[in-house]
């Protein structure tokens, strides 16, 4: 696997590949890689002639400086995992490379989809994601870019970013399914920060989500939300931040099951100090 640290050197390599007619699959990451990331790499390797991944802990998407400080930094393990998964190129830039001094930060307007759920509790988060993803897309110019469905709202933002701001790059966004631990907990780099007791109790988040799918036929939306709040908060390790059932198209909160579009139940909860998110399709 080739490793590039500067935009210029990566771009030179990529334009050479493009001239040779190669397709490029791209998997942006912030490192602390787990099987979820590797499933994205595997899919990219299957569907493209070259796979590029990036490892950059993007400061502008952290609205909490402690969260940024505590984000796991595991470069050696990450590059080994990428190499074993047959990733061809790793882009590992510095902060200075991605955010040069005196550069004016771009502001994006995604409308309501950026202000609900994660947007409500993490102000500025999606603007930071859009800043880094648009920079990376402009540098890598991939044929396809791969994102996990665990970050359901991020995926909606990236799709809108791609159509509203980066249309000329003609990138196909590929949504990949959530990869879970044996007990159902959605894989996340943040799981590394859970202690043993927290880790055991964290799986109640996904278990509760799975049950909401069954309860759909027995409860109205309002009572189901109340049930989730009680179920999560009854556990002494967990605290619910939000639970919502939203329309997949516009992320509007639904109030009854008859609404016609496909729906997704989304949850964010603290397990100890660690904030975890998950979701499940409720069609």
Active site residues: 37
Cα–Cα dist 182/199, whole Å:
12
Nearest to 148 by CA among 178, 118, 180, 185: 178
Tokens of 85: 């998964």
- Contact residues: ligand PAF, CB under 6 A: 28-30, 58, 61, 129, 132-133, 151, 154
- The least CB distance from residue 54 to ligand PAF, in Å, is 7
Q: How far is CA 251 from the centre of its chain?
A: 16
Smaller CB distance to ligand PAF: residue 132 or 245?
132
Cα–Cα dist 281/283, whole Å:
6
- The least CB distance from residue 227 to ligand PAF, in Å, is 30
119-138 as b/e: b if 16+ CB within 10 A: beebeebbbbbbbbbbbbbe
Cα–Cα dist 272/265, whole Å:
22
Smaller CB distance to ligand PAF: residue 212 or 264?
264
- The least CB distance from residue 147 to ligand PAF, in Å, is 7
Smaller CB distance to ligand PAF: residue 166 or 254?
166
First to last CA, the chain: 41
Smaller CB distance to ligand PAF: residue 91 or 243?
91
- The least CB distance from residue 67 to ligand PAF, in Å, is 13
Measured on CA atoms in the order 275, 280, 282, 283, is the torsion positive or negative?
positive
């Amino acid at each position: 696997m080739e490793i590039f640290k500067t935009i210029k050197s990566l771009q030179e390599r990529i334009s050479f590949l493009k001239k040779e007619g190669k397709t490029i699959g791209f998997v942006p990451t912030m490192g602390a890689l787990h099987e979820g990331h590797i499933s994205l790499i595997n899919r990219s390797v299957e569907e493209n002639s070259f796979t590029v991944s990036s490892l950059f802990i993007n400061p502008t998407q952290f609205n909490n400086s402690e969260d940024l400080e505590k984000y796991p930094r595991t470069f050696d393990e990450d590059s080994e995992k990428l190499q074993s998964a047959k990733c061809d190129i790793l882009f590992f830039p510095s902060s200075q490379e991605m955010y040069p001094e005196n550069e004016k930060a771009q502001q994006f307007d995604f409308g309501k989809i950026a202000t609900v759920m994660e947007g409500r509790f993490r102000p500025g988060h999606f603007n930071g994601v859009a800043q880094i993803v648009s920079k990376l897309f402009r540098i890598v110019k991939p044929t396809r870019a791969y994102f996990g469905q665990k970050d359901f709202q991020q995926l909606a933002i990236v799709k809108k970013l791609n159509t509203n701001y980066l249309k000329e790059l003609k990138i196909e966004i590929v949504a990949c399914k959530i990869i879970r631990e044996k007990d159902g907990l959605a894989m996340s780099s943040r799981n590394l920060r859970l202690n043993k007791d927290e880790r055991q109790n964290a799986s109640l988040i996904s278990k509760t989500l799975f049950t909401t799918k069954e309860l759909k036929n027995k409860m109205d939306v309002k009572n189901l939300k109340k049930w989730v709040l009680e179920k999560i908060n009854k556990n002494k390790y967990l605290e619910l931040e939000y639970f919502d059932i939203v329309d997949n198209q516009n992320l509007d909160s639904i109030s009854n099951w008859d609404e016609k579009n496909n729906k997704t139940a989304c949850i964010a909860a603290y397990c100890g100090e660690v904030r975890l998110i998950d979701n499940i399709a409720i069609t």
